[in-house]
Structure 1
Amino acid sequence: MFNSKFIAQVHLALIATLLCVLNGCATINQQSEQESIRVNHAFRSGSLLTASNLLDKNFKIENLQEAKKNSQVDTIYFLEKGLFLSLLGSKNLHSSTQSLLVADQFLRDWESQVSLSLRMTPSEFSNTLRDKFYFKRVYLPRDYEKTF
């Protein structure tokens, strides 16, 4: 049917594809990790405005309304932005509160989506249970979340 040379070539192609995919995932995580390190370094050195600007640059939005309109959900961004703005002084209190409220709304929306409901179909119920007890992706902690 198939000769061993053909099977070896297929295996080699599959391994090469798998390595490319895994390498791409590592590169994405490494890039975001470097961006996070720069933001955290600026924050720890006391340069709050620089940290806030780096955070905006990494998130690639102009304002909070654009993020809502494009359905970009990054709760950590809004929590960090709210913290940075609140530490920049009372003149930024309104913007800080708005960022924190956006993060709060994202969390409330998420909670309502994943909460158990009596109106769920059996398949939705089993999917919810499976998702609650199985982590789909690896959580990479930020620098300030790591402990010794």
Structure 2
Amino acid sequence: MPHKRCAGTGRTVTWTEGVITRTPSTSEVKLPESGVFYFARQQVRERGAWAPTKLTDNDPLYDQLTKELGPILTTLLLPHQQEIARRATARYLRLARVTVAEHPHRVYFVFPTDRGPEVLVLPSQKRTWQLTAVVLGVLVLIALVVRFVT
């Protein structure tokens, strides 16, 4: 730039500074929400040995997840406006649901823990309905007895 007072030339530097801060948003998704009894899901969530994985295109778990939960995952993994990058991490745990012919009213859930496989025994859905019917029957009977006594 020419300098008018001394007719010399030189450079001027203008510094511009800016700080861009981005807070990543994290959302927790628990899938699947059905198919396993609530009590079993709670026990497995608390005591299970979960394995973390990054969801990349060449991960076999990614293929399995997108096949089973494809429509749900596709909508959750859509890029957001002005998003720079995205990282998806999943925790998974293999859970075996076992029924035995000798025990038709029990369901066994086997899952890995830090100490080894653990077995959780729960009543079957049929047994649960039977117990519910018995309890409701007893409550109705008590209500009838109370009504006739008073």
TM-score range, shorter chain: under 0.3
Of Structure 1 and Structure 2, the greater strand share is in 2
| TM-score (norm. length: structure 1) | 0.19
More helix, by proportion: 1
